[in-house]
Chains A and B, each alone.
Chain A
Amino acid sequence: KNQVEQSPQSLIILEGKNCTLQCNYTVSPFSNLRWYKQDTGRGPVSLTIMTFSENTKSNGRYTATLDADTKQSSLHITASQLSDSASYICVVSLRDDKIIFGKGTRLHILP
């Protein structure tokens, strides 16, 4: 069964600290993996995208990694800011056009 599992479900950290969010997937045939950021009351916005041949991709303070062998991805946020408070959603696309969404990690940044 095609699944995308994210952990932790929620996370609270202090402003300025780093954090890492995890995504494990069991999908086939894999095409690409995106991380989206969803602010409260807004639609998701794409942060990064990686295919199986890409191990890492950065977007400012966000760095995503992908291990296609273990089917794991992570999103690392450096020097967190209050505006990073949001849900982060891991989304895997299959080669047959299906898109599988994880349930997201809810990140709270405290001042």
Chain B
Amino acid sequence: DSGVTQTPKHLITATGQRVTLRCSPRSGDLSVYWYQQSLDQGLQFLIQYYNGEERAKGNILERFSAQQFPDLHSELNLSSLELGDSALYFCASSVGARSSYNSPLHFGNGTRLTVT
């Protein structure tokens, strides 16, 4: 068990809708990262928060947004959903602002989003 909790595990929704994915990082970890994994694709970095502040941005669409709350949990909001947004969304956490030799990313088990 990585200690990273993601909810819900599965989400089925229709095109045009809005959903919120939730992540609780491992105890003591200040960074939260969001990744998207589509079928047969590698993990695509979306965004990173460190101690409540946005630290790095990847290929995140304007329809997507995220935030990290004072208790360090994070939410990823996906709006105006399209069929192509169907994917596994992973949250990862690390102790520091950057993943380092002694501070690997710890991944949750993901939220599987299906847009119909």
With contacts defined as CB atoms under 8 Å apart, how many contacts are there between chain A and chain B in the complex?
Answer: 49
Given contacts A49-B101, A97-B98, contact A44 B107 (CB under 8 A): yes
B28 within 8 A of A: no
Given contacts A43-B90, A43-B109, contact A102 B42 (CB under 8 A): yes
A99 within 8 A of B: yes
* A11: min CB distance to chain B, Å: 15
A46 within 8 A of B: yes
B64 within 8 A of A: no
A101 within 8 A of B: yes
Given contacts A89-B42, A89-B43, A104-B42, contact A42 B109 (CB under 8 A): yes
13 contacts between A and B (CB under 8 A): A4-B42, A32-B100, A34-B104, A42-B110, A43-B90, A43-B107, A43-B109, A49-B101, A49-B104, A89-B43, A97-B99, A99-B99, A101-B44
Interface residues of A, Cβ cutoff 8 Å to B: 4, 31-32, 34, 41-46, 49, 51, 89, 93, 97, 99, 101-104
